[in-house]
C-alpha cells in the first residue's frame, strides 16, 4: 500500500491548485494544475519529484525525461506516477 501525506492548496500564482504528496523520508511529489502549467489548460497535471530539501529528483525516477517536470498527466495517470515514486523511494 502506498502511504503518503497529502496537502492541497491554491497554487501560489493565485490560480489553480497544488497537491503535495509527501512520503516518510521527506521525498515529495508536487502536482500542479494552473493555466500556466504544462497541461493545465487541458485539465491535466504537471508533476515534479523533490527531495526533502526541495532538490529535483524527477529525472532520477524517470530517466527518459529531459525536464525537471512531467506535464500533461491525466487524473487517471496520476496515481500510477505517485506509486512509481513511492517504490523508487523504497529502493534508494
Dihedral angle sign, alpha carbons of residues 36, 48, 10, 79: positive
Instruction: Determine the average pLDDT of the residues in 73-87.
Output: 96
The predicted pLDDT at position 73 comes to 98
Delimit the domains of the chain by residue range.
5-91
Over 90: is that where the pLDDT of 90 sits? Answer: no
Q: If you average pLDDT over every residue of the chain, what do you get? A: 95
In this prediction, residue 81 has a pLDDT band, given cuts at 50, 70 and 90, of very high
Three cell numbers, residue 74:
491525466
Here the contacts of 22-30 (C-beta below 8 Å, separation 24 or greater) are 23/85, 23/86, 23/89, 25/52, 25/89, 26/51, 26/52, 27/51, 27/52, 27/57, 27/85, 27/89, 28/52, 29/4, 29/81, 29/82, 29/85
Give 24-70 pLDDT, tens digit per residue: 999 999 999 999 999 999 999 999 999 999 999 999 999 999 999 99
Amino acid at each position: 500500500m502506498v502511504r503518503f501525506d497529502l496537502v492541497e492548496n491554491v497554487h501560489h500564482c493565485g490560480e489553480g491548485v497544488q497537491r503535495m504528496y509527501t512520503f516518510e523520508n521527506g521525498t515529495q511529489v508536487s502536482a500542479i494544475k494552473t493555466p500556466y502549467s504544462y497541461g493545465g489548460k487541458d485539465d491535466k497535471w504537471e508533476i515534479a519529484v523533490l527531495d526533502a530539501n526541495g532538490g529535483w529528483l524527477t529525472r532520477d525516477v524517470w530517466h527518459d525525461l529531459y525536464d525537471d517536470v512531467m506535464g500533461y498527466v491525466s487524473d487517471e495517470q496520476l496515481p500510477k506516477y505517485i506509486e512509481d515514486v513511492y517504490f523508487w523511494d523504497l529502493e534508494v
